[in-house]
Amino acid sequence: MASHIVGYPRMGPKRELKFALESFWDGKSTADDLKKVSADLRSDIWKQMSAAGIKYIPSNTFAYYDQVLDTTAMLGAVPPRYGWNSGEIGFDVYFSMARGNASVPAMEMTKWFDTNYHYIVPELGPEVKFSYASHKAVNEYKEAKALGAETVPVLVGPVSYLLLSKLAKGVDKSFDLLSLLPKILPIYKEVIEELKGAGATWIQFDEPLFVMDLEGHKLQAFSGAYAELESTLSGLNVLVETYFADVPAEAYKTLTSLKGVTAFGFDLIRGTKTIDLIKSSFPEGKYLFAGVVDGRNIWANDLAASLITLQSLEGVVGKGIVSTCDPLNLSLTRCLYYLCIGADKLVVSTSCSLLHTAVDLVNETKLDAEIKSWLAFAAQKVVEVDALAKALAGQTNQSFFSANAEALSSRRSSPRVTNQSVQKAAADLKGSDHRRATEVTARLDAQQKKLNLPILPTTTIGSFPQTVELRRVRREYKAKKISEEDYVKAIKEEIKKVVDIQEELDIDVLVHGEPERNDMVEYFGEQLSGFAFTANGWVQSYGSRCVKPPIIYGDVSRPKPMTVFWSSTAQSMTKRPMKGMLTGPVTILNWSFVRNDQPRHETCYQIALAIKDEVEDLEKGGIGVIQIDEAALREGLPLRKAEHSFYLDWAVHSFRITNCGVQDSTQIHTHMCYSHFNDIIHSIIDMDADVITIENSRSDEKLLSVFREGVKYGAGIGPGVYDIHSPRIPSTDEIADRVNKMLAVLEQNILWVNPDCGLKTRKYTEVKPALKNMVDAAKLIRSQL
């Protein structure tokens, strides 16, 4: 029985690639240094997989930045502004596309499906001249071979590549990106020929687009593309890998009828419905790559359950052949031979690339031993895949299986996981909508009586610049190098500084600046029960950037107030309203590794109840304006439209739970870090916040068009008036102009004036003048109204 890994993290167990990249970018090390670190990482991974007994080991899943950008380089689809014409694409052009250079900004980056990974979006159009410009796939295959590892080279499939692209600037909107297939397939053919020449016997095309809602002509593009590649692919085993959701029935038919393809890979963790499709029909004689080990989570696999799933598929793969196996006409040995062939065609795999999980558990020396026994990072998942493949072939590693069963049973029965009162409180939520009793307009009146704000009130989103000194204080406190007393004193001083600046700037609703927070999710996770933290559980987000999501392992509760001390301290420093600042339940959920032993929405409801307690304690503590950030609400939107409404219902409900109990006069704000919300505007209104601040400065038009289309909106709204991602200081006129544009569409009594997002990553030298201009712009317009 064979085993396969879809892809593997590139960063290294201790983010070696990150440091190598950043040092190279800073000019502190050479290209050769970077290549050496990278080659060592690749070699370690191949060795590790060979040692674990993996049969189909991937190559070309390493990337210096991103696998989609690698494909752009392979196809020579470099936008002209990067000044490349011909030859093999080197670091300078590659990294210029990824990160920009002194004269040209980077290409756009966007989220890779519903993961936290981001890819560089190809810019294509009729003018692009494709050519074979990066031999990386072939070089990596040869590199592995030289090290003694026979690998399956992985390419982003041609149809997914085009469907993940966008039109280059100036290209007519009616241009169909799929019409470029005849131009890119010749290059894929060159690559395939070269791989064959180098000795490859397998090739993997990642075509994750198969799991999306696709119109008929897009499905046809897959059929056409693989039919075109068929003759070049002959002699190779060809795996088309899908992941992140189930494959819809129509797409499944197309996929399993592709010409030239001999193997199909499925995500059987998120795509449980695909199992039924596979069972009802799977093409005769083809390989089934069954992704039963979760590539997107950190939990140890339930090996016994996976084995049952695999066994149920064993018959399916063998079935076509076995049914032709008529014992009257064939000898028994021959029948068994066919059966074995069938069995060999079921390959145990991961649900998707392991890129989306943490790298190696061995480096978690500080993690609680019991919790650690419940986990498996990429390195451990490789071992699980192999153990399952062997078990399927009758060579069960008993001790490994029993240790796994033991860990799972300890997880199921651990008192640290289950908290009866939390379970009960979450169950009791059923049946209520958790809506504030009064309409938003009436609430705004009650709030205005108390707050007495000017028209176009000014505010900021929460964080103020985090200086080196501030980070040092937090670090030293955590490491117990400074006393609690000294820490509190230092943070209070920082808050005072931030309050003074805002008063001087004459901002209307103040923030305390979040100096005590390292990260908006981690800060809350550390104070809630049911969360664990890793030392090295990093996951690549984009380029050299990684995130370290907390692990939610148990029922979530709030042992004691989390922010009340800091918020009320800040409020005591000013007569102006001080916003309490919380992270919302959906964002905490979406930016964590979430338990897989209960539905996501149940975990979200538990977090909501914990935040609800905090909101109510803030209110009791004299905080009249409370912001509950839902930066990641949109991110959690499922890939398929049919699932959107269920998600939005529980996500929005969770948000309402947090604040349904406050008085009319308490003003609830929320903040969101995206502007594409046209399609979910009704859900956003349904959150029933009093004020929403939202990223906008990079896309005025898109945002405001929703309101132009007559969406009835009564709550306060603060579309960001300047981009905090850039060091640029916007002028008063520029901001006033923006506000005026908004006033053309929005009622003046609901409009707020604020930046796009928190100011944490900016410098004071940028923040002060920018905010001054913002306040001046608000005052200027007030005087004209």
Site residues for ligand GLN per CB under 6 A: 461-463, 514, 520, 581, 629, 631, 671, 673, 757-758, 760
The region of 483-491, 557-565, 577-585, 670-678 touching Zn ion under the rule CB under 5 A is: 670-678
Q: Is 629 annotated as a binding residue?
A: yes
Q: Is 335 annotated as a binding residue?
A: no
Compose the 601-640 pattern: x for residues touching Zn ion by CB under 5 A, - for all others: ------------------------------x---------
Q: Give, as one character, the DSSP assignment of residue 10.
A: S
547 by DSSP, 3-state: which? strand
Residue 237, H or E segment: strand 237-241
In the complex, residue closest to ligand GLN by CB:
758
H or E element in which residue 44 lies: helix 31-52
**Sequence-ordered list of residues with C-beta below 8 angstroms from that of 504, at least 6 positions apart, any chain:** none
Min separation Cβ 622 and ligand GLN, Å: 20
Least separation in angstroms between residue 269's CB and Zn ion is 30
669 is known to lie in a ligand binding site: no
Name the minimum Å distance from CB 122 to Zn ion.
27
Angle (nearest 5°) at CA 48 between 47 and 49: 95
Our CB check for ligand GLN shows the closer of 614 and 629 to be: 629
Which residues, listed in sequence order, are joined to residue 627 by a DSSP beta bridge?
A: 581, 669
Q: Which does 520 bind (CB under 5 to 8 A by kind): ligand GLN, Zn ion, none?
A: ligand GLN
Residue 37 touches which of Zn ion, ligand GLN, none (Cβ within 5-8 Å per kind):
none
Site for Zn ion in 755-774 (CB under 5 A): 757
For residues 45 and 354, give the distance between their C-alpha atoms in angstroms, rounded to a whole number.
12
Print burial letters for 630-660: b (CB count within 10 Å at least 16), e (below 16): bbbbbbbbbbeeeeeeebbebbbbbbbbbbb
d(CA 344, CA 389): 10
Determine the 3-state secondary structure of 374 from DSSP. Answer: coil
When CB distances are held under 5 to 8 angstroms depending on the partner's kind, the choice from ligand GLN, Zn ion, none that residue 219 binds is: none
Question: Cα separation of 592 and 170, whole Å?
Answer: 39
With CB cut-offs between 5 and 8 Å by kind, which of ligand GLN, Zn ion, none does residue 719 bind? none
From the CB of 528, what's the least distance to Zn ion, in Å? 22
Burial degree of 32 (CB within 10 A; 0-12, 13-18, 19+) = exposed
Q: Give 82's contacts (C-beta < 8 A, 6+ positions apart).
A: 93, 96, 97, 104
**Distance separating alpha carbons of residues 25 and 305, to the nearest angstrom:** 46
Name the binder of 463 from ligand GLN, Zn ion, none, CB < 5-8 A by kind.
ligand GLN
CB nearer to Zn ion: pick between 191 and 509:
509
Q: Are 470 and 766 in contact (CB under 8 A)?
A: no
Pairing of strands 118-120, 539-542: unpaired
Q: Is 725 a catalytic residue?
A: yes
CA 751, CA 706: separation in Å to the nearest integer? Answer: 15
Judged by CB under 5 A, the stretch of 617-625, 722-730, 751-759, 765-773 that binds Zn ion is: 751-759
Q: Select the binding partner of residue 629 from ligand GLN, Zn ion, none (C-beta < 5 to 8 A, by kind).
A: ligand GLN
Which of 185, 520 has the CB closer to ligand GLN?
A: 520
Which partner from the list ligand GLN, Zn ion, none does 228 bind, CB cut-off 5 to 8 Å by kind? Answer: none
Query: 566 labelled as ligand-binding?
Result: no
Owner of token pair 């396969």:
4
Phi (first) and psi of residue 12, to 5 degrees: 95, 155
- As measured in angstroms, the least distance from the Cβ of 771 to Zn ion is 16
With CB under 5 A as the contact rule, which of the stretches 91-99, 669-677, 704-712, 763-771 interacts with Zn ion? 669-677
- d(C-alpha 714, C-alpha 678), whole Å: 16
Closer CB to Zn ion, residue 55 or residue 669? Answer: 669
Strand order, beta sheet including 57-59? 2-3, 346-350, 287-293, 263-267, 237-241, 202-206, 151-156, 57-59
> Could you give the CA distance from residue 499 to residue 558 in angstroms, rounded to a whole number?
28
- Was 4 annotated as part of a binding site? no
618 binding partner (options Zn ion, ligand GLN, none; Cβ < 5 to 8 Å by kind): none
Query: What is the C-alpha separation between 328 and 282, in angstroms, rounded?
Result: 25
Residues 175-214 that bind Zn ion (CB under 5 A): none
- The partner in contact with residue 411, picked from Zn ion, ligand GLN, none with C-beta cut-offs of 5 to 8 angstroms by kind, is none
Binding to Zn ion in span 492-521, by CB under 5 A: none
Nearest CB to ligand GLN, comparing residues 42 and 760: 760
**Residue 673 lies near Zn ion (rule: CB under 5 A):** yes
Residue 545 counted as an annotated binding residue: yes
> Which listed residue (135, 434, 512, 725) is catalytic?
725
- Ligand-binding site membership of 695 (annotated): yes
Q: SS in 3 state form for 434-456?
A: CCCCCCHHHHHHHHHHHHCCCCC
Q: CA 44, CA 478: separation in Å to the nearest integer?
A: 34
In whole angstroms, how close is the CB of 433 to ligand GLN at the nearest point?
A: 26
* Nearer of residues 270 and 671 to Zn ion, judged by Cβ: 671
Considering only 342-350, 569-577, 583-591, 750-758, which stretch makes contact with Zn ion by CB under 5 A? 750-758
Query: Residue 663 Cβ, how far from ligand GLN at the closest point, in Å?
Result: 23
Given a contact cutoff of 8 angstroms between Cβ atoms, the answer to whether 111 and 167 are in contact is: no
Name the burial class of residue 220, with classes exposed (0-12), middle (13-18) and buried (19+) by CB atoms within 10 angstroms of its CB: middle
Place of tokens 């075509």: 207
The site for Zn ion, by CB under 5 A, has a size of: 3
546 is in an annotated binding site: yes
Between 660 and 673, name the residue whose CB sits nearer to Zn ion: 673
Cα distances (angstroms) measured from residue 536 to each of 11, 13, 356, 367, 377: 11, 7, 14, 10, 11
CB 450 to ligand GLN: min, Å? 23
Choice between 200 and 673, CB closer to Zn ion: 673
Residue type, 551: I
Known binder of ligand: residue 604?
no
Minimum CB distance to ligand GLN smaller for 656 or for 671: 671
Look at strands 2-3 and 346-350 and give their pairing.
parallel
Cα 562 from Cα 564, distance rounded (Å): 6
| CB 541, min distance to ligand GLN, A | 13
Residue 685 assigned to a binding site: no
| Nearer Cβ to ligand GLN (85/761) | 761
Please indicate if the annotation marks 431 as binding a ligand.
no
Residue 482 CB-density burial (10 A; 0-12 exposed, 13-18 middle, 19+ buried): middle
Cβ distance to ligand GLN smaller for residue 238 or 631: 631
653 is in an annotated binding site: no
**Shortest distance in whole angstroms from residue 725 CB to ligand GLN:** 11
Is 757 part of any known ligand binding site?
yes
Q: How far is the CB of 560 from ligand GLN (least distance, A)?
A: 22
- Asked if residue 686 belongs to a known ligand binding site, the reply is yes
Q: Please give the annotated binding residues for Zn(2+), written as ranges.
A: 671, 673, 682, 686, 695, 757
The residues annotated with a catalytic role in the active site are 725
Positions that interact with Zn ion (CB under 5 A) = 631, 673, 757
Q: Please give the annotated binding residues for L-methionine, written as ranges.
A: 461-463, 514, 629
Q: Please give the annotated binding residues, written as ranges.
A: 18, 116, 461-463, 514, 545-546, 591, 629, 671, 673, 682, 686, 695, 757
Q: Please give the annotated binding residues for 5-methyltetrahydropteroyltri-L-glutamate, written as ranges.
A: 18, 116, 545-546, 591
